[in-house]
Amino acid sequence: MKKFVIPAVIAIAASSAPAFAADLGAKMVTKAPVAVPSPWDVAIGAGIASDYNFRGISQSSNQPSVNAYFEGRYNSSANLQWYAGIGGYSIDFPNRAAAEIDLYAGVRPTFDKLALDLGALYYYYPGGQCFFGGAPLLAVGAASVVACNPALPNGNYSKEEASFLEFYAKATYNFTDTFNMGVGVFYTEDWLNTGADGTYGNVTAKFTVFAVSTPETI
């Protein structure tokens, strides 16, 4: 009987040994999870210019100007982005405003090679002063009379409040990966808080000479 038991035990041990060796020596292989990109994104920037020229008019009295901005973005789909941001510029206005603060928000839908940008922007000029050469001005909504500073040296007048709201619509068409053209329309009912409406349009073209690509990661 031992003739049959011993070979059976050896056979069981021999057949089991490779399985144990494989379990102990091999590494467990798992599939890496698929990375899902976040729908949220931000853009941050800053710069300096020899002159802050806005639509042909110097906002910094032909002097250097610094600027910075922060923009938050939410991509609700591959072809639709919502955004809101704030930007700041150093200026030199006749009413002695301390700075220009831009508060803006909008949406950027894309249709293949066509990209749109629709939104609104509020130009806020804090710290302004009133300059007037005539009789004192009557404060709106108040019975008291508020006297302005004397007229500016050149005889011009300036309102204390210059902030205003503007709406815009932009379109850009990408003809190739390196060339695109665009148009934009901007409208306000109260330019620089003067009560006058204004419409501004522009045409842009961009050609990329070369682009730097990052290597793909495995």
Each residue's pLDDT tens digit, 27-74 = 566 676 777 889 999 999 999 999 999 999 999 999 999 999 999 999
Q: How far apart are CA 166 and CA 5, in angstroms?
A: 95
Is residue 207 within 8 Å of 174, Cβ to Cβ?
Answer: no
Q: Note down the domain range covering 106.
A: 31-207
In a domain, 183, yes or no: yes
In a domain, 21, yes or no: no
Each residue's pLDDT tens digit, 200-213 = 999 999 999 876 66
Is residue 174 within 8 Å of 182, Cβ to Cβ?
Answer: no
Sign of CA dihedral 166, 169, 174, 180: negative
Each residue's pLDDT tens digit, 161-174 = 999 999 999 999 99
In a domain, 212, yes or no: no
In a domain, 19, yes or no: no
3-state DSSP: the chain helix, strand, coil percent, rounded to 5? 10, 45, 45
- Give the up-direction half-sphere exposure of residue 75: CA atoms within 13 A in the CB hemisphere: 11
- 21, pLDDT greater than 90: no
Q: Which of 37, 59, 39 is nearest to 50 (CA)?
A: 59
What is the per-residue DSSP string for 15-36? HHHHHHHHHHHSPPP-PPPPPP
CATH number reported for the structural domain that contains residue 111 in this entry:
2.40.160
In a domain, 177, yes or no: yes
Task: Please give the tally of structural domains in the chain.
Answer: 1
More confident residue, 142 or 120: 120
> pTM of this prediction?
0.75
